[in-house]
Amino acid sequence: MRPFLEGEAAANFGNAASLHRQGQAAKAALERARRTCAEVLGCSPEEIVFTSGGTESNYLALRAMAWAARRRWDEAKTPGMPRLAASRIEHAAVHEALRGLQREGFELAGDGHSNVGANANGQVDPAELLAACDERTAVVTLMLANNETGAVQLVADLARLLDKRFGTRPGRWWPRLHVDAVQAAGKLALKVEALGCDTLALSAHKFEGPKGVGLLYVRRGVGLDAPMGGGGHEGGYRGGTPNVAGAAGMAEALRLAEAERVSAVARVTKLRSLFEDSLRARVGDAVVHGAKAERIGNTSFVSFPGLDGPALVLALDAEGVSCSTGAACSEGIGRPSHVLEAMGVSAEFGRAAVRFSFGRLTTEYEVYAAVERVGKVVGRMRA
């Protein structure tokens, strides 16, 4: 990122859409970043759209596909409105986008809500999600790895079921499959053809890249209606001057995350298992949610019966342990995790849940130290 932020910035500060020398230098860097990201995803560089992060990528994909369907519905004089199908464990960014589309007249498949829950291990049944779909369903969305429990979702299975019922891509127009893969980069393989998706969202800070930049994969031929005007940047899908430094940093972080994925996943998963085993030995009634599911290795969502999650987070912070009550963007709203609720976890256990995260910099010493401090704080609060 440095050539676009300091030192040589005067020569590389141009708008990538400009024809002058500085603009073309910026454009070359942007396209290098696009090629690098495309190599990791196994797609064409032209199918990569740079965004400000996962929230925008999810929002752009869902709205663009919904309104593309609405336009085709109107042209064909098809009665009714296009429907959207999702699970109840999706990220708040997805739920907010769906609620906004509902206010504009779109319908949610099934019971009129984000319709499909998860089993006790935090996984959505693809067949159940498919059952919520009908011929009016335009978009199906499912995250690849849950941001609270870490449970891996069977996205490729859902894609195969959609192909079997509605016809195979690329000939099938509807429904489109969007995948929120924000939590999965650097932890799971992200080849888009293997996943069978039409669009896929990533955010750089989830794989040690810079904050405030992300990408959206848009399969060639999907034909989105761009919901954001203001210029013809990013293949016409997104207005605004591109963040060249951010894109360069994200591409390098994604390349490194994929190159080191197998060894990094093994190391972090080992640390998480050490943490959970040691924690159960220290706090006998601690409950790890999703423990029997395939999970990404960086996440452990634990309930401490009888305690208040936010109070526990603050007490642990005072002891030098940084954790959360669930999704960071949802903390402080004063209600139990919607993910645990969708899994059938009681409100009491939901209020007592705390999420711990592990990453590239986490050490074995820190794991043991954290378990010791958690045990001390839990004992003190219960006393």
Q: For residue 129, count other CB atoms closer than 10 A to its CB.
A: 25
User: Mapping DSSP to helix (H, G, I), strand (E, B) and coil, where does residue 88 land?
Assistant: coil
How many angstroms separate the CA atoms of 260 and 207, rounded?
11
Name, in order, each residue with C-beta under 8 angstroms of 91's C-beta and a sequence gap of 6 or more.
Answer: 54, 58, 143, 147, 180, 182, 327
Distance of CA 226 to the CA centre of its chain: 21
How many angstroms separate the CA atoms of 294 and 123, rounded?
9
Closest alpha carbon to 378 in 289, 271, 288, 286? 286
Torsion (CA) 59, 65, 66, 70 in degrees, nearest 10: 150
User: Mapping DSSP to helix (H, G, I), strand (E, B) and coil, where does residue 233 land?
Assistant: coil
Examine the residue annotation and report whether 133 is marked as an active-site residue of this protein.
Answer: no
Q: How are beta strands 287-288 and 214-218 bridged, if at all?
A: unpaired
The angle formed by the CA atoms of residues 357, 359 and 365, to the nearest 5 degrees, is 85
Q: Spot the catalytic one: 37, 43, 197, 329.
A: 329
User: Which amino acid is residue 356, in one-letter code?
Assistant: F
Please state whether 77 falls in left (phi above 0), alpha (psi between -120 and 50) or beta. left
User: Mapping DSSP to helix (H, G, I), strand (E, B) and coil, where does residue 177 land?
Assistant: strand
Torsion (CA) 285, 272, 344, 306 in degrees, nearest 10: 30
Helix 261-282 × helix 244-259 angle, to 10°? 80
How many angstroms separate the CA atoms of 347 and 161, rounded?
33
Which string of b and e fits 349-365 if b means at least 16 CB within 10 Å? bbbbbbbbbbeeebeee
Q: Phi, psi at residue 271, to the nearest 5°?
A: -65, -40
How many angstroms separate the CA atoms of 205 and 223, rounded?
28
Give catalytic residue positions.
329
